[in-house]
Amino acid sequence: MQTVDNYALKVVNLYTSASNRSTDVKYYLLQNGCPNTALGNFLFKTIWNGQFTEARFQMKMAKISGSDVIYLFADLVLCNNSCTP
């Protein structure tokens, strides 16, 4: 029997949008497991991702022009033991 400690969680894509519609513009913070280098460590930093049962990030949020809300979306993968090679 596997316990929760036998799994690891990896965020593959993390992005924001001004709405919850999939056709709207997406602003990627993390894409294909890699941070958006245009943001730099000042705006978005991976603390850990893929090693444990949780993923942690540090980010400074900004407003999307013309919108009072920001929607945050994530695509996740659940792995046995670790998601890292």
Report pLDDT digits (tens) over 21-42: 878 899 999 999 999 888 877 7
For residue 85, tell me if it sits in a domain.
Answer: no
Q: How many domains does the chain have?
A: 1
Tokens of 44: 């978005």
For residue 53, tell me if it sits in a domain.
Answer: yes
70 to 5, 31, 56, 62, 79: CA distances (angstroms): 32, 18, 19, 9, 29
Q: Which domain holds residue 55?
A: 4-80
**What tens digit of pLDDT does each residue of 35-67 get?**
988 887 778 889 999 999 999 999 887 788 888
Does this model's pTM top 0.75? My answer is: yes
For residue 39, tell me if it sits in a domain.
Answer: yes
DSSP, collapsed to helix, strand or coil, labels residue 43 as: helix
For residue 64, tell me if it sits in a domain.
Answer: yes
Per-residue pLDDT band for 1 (boundaries 50, 70, 90) equals low
Sheet containing 27-31: order of strands? 34-35, 27-31, 7-17, 71-80
